[in-house]
Amino acid sequence: MAVTASMVKELRQATGSGMMDCKKALVEANEDMEKAIEVLREKGLSKAAKKADRIAAEGLVKIAFEDDAKKAAIVEVNSETDFVAKNAEFIGFVEDLAKIALATEDKSIENFMTLSYKEEGTVTDVLNTKISKIGENMNVRRFVKCATPGVVYTGYVHGGGTIGAIVGIETEATREEVAVVGRDVAMQVASMNPKFVDETSIDQEYIAKEKEILTQMVLNEGKKPEMVERIVEGKIKKELKEVCLVEQKFVKNGDLTVEQYVETVAKEVGKAMKVVEMVRYEVGEGIEKKSEDFAAEVAAQLAK
């Protein structure tokens, strides 16, 4: 039996691969559709490997919640260009991964990549298939699941997925009762990028390093040695109000701190509320983005 146009069409729809690639795979697999899919997947892995050295610093952040908001998850998946990040298929893929992250108890990204993605194989398998189909390097960079007992989670995604934030509020209130205040605080996290929830969660190494830097700064300003410690303590207290979420001025009402705003809502609802967790992901943060001029990019493409 010869390879028919309908077979090529079926394989193309199933894999998203090019028409000629599908035809060649069907010939190689002796018209066996399942084997042809395997052939394309193998070739997709090869193509993915060729793209693996390209820097993927664009992409999306997506979040997912359980119905009662007692659990939440956030995931970042990177692509090479913002154009791909706006692709509907890519968006759906990241949203699905957030749901998978919500369902797993594993914290390792390596193990996450081995989890089943629908009935299409592992997360790695599907990622490589999409790399082959879309033609860009992609990377499932990180994820985290939040599931602390007694905490209700809310979140906010900015710019369609450039920044995502999850906030955990310790309370007996329902998801509906904390929905507005939680989203407001998550927006605060997204916009103001605090380093810590409150002073109790501050890394003491951070404090020590800041004191060291500020001490040298004050000495360089020519302050008297006996005044240095007091001045540094004052600067530290001021800085903590900027880096601690609950101490920050609430962006929607500068007359209140975030903590005061939450307490106001708690009184209205009649149930205590305390912000105890936060997660903030920004696409590409910490990734060194490669910079090339257009001429160099064209030359690089012609050299392949």
Q: E strand or H helix at 44, and its extent? A: helix 33-51
With tokens 């069907």, the residue in question is: 26
Measured CA distances, 175 to 25, 70, 156, 179, 296 (Å): 51, 8, 14, 6, 52
Say how many CA atoms lie within 13 Å of 242 toward its Cβ.
5
Q: What are the CA-CA distances from residue 52 to residues 64, 78, 94, 129, 137 (Å)?
A: 28, 12, 19, 13, 6
CA distances to 19, 266, 271, 278 from 120, in Å:
21, 45, 45, 33
Q: What is the pLDDT along the chain (304 residues), one digit of tens a residue?
A: 688 888 887 777 666 666 787 888 889 888 888 888 777 766 663 454 455 556 667 899 999 999 999 999 999 999 988 888 888 999 999 999 999 999 999 999 999 999 999 988 999 999 988 888 888 889 999 999 999 999 999 999 998 899 999 999 999 999 999 999 999 999 999 999 999 999 888 878 888 888 888 888 888 888 888 888 888 888 888 887 888 999 999 999 999 999 999 999 999 999 999 999 999 999 988 876 554 444 554 445 444 4
Q: Which CATH number is 5-50's, of 3.40.50.1370, 3.40.50.970, 3.40.50.300, 1.10.8.10?
A: 1.10.8.10
What are the extents of the domains in the chain? 5-50, 52-147, 204-241
Q: 90 and 101 in contact (C-beta within 8 Å)?
A: no
Fold of 52-147: Tetrahydropterin Synthase; Chain A (3.30.479)
Asked if 107 and 145 touch (Cβ cutoff 8 Å), the reply is yes
Phi, psi dihedral angles at 51 (to 5 degrees)? -95, -5
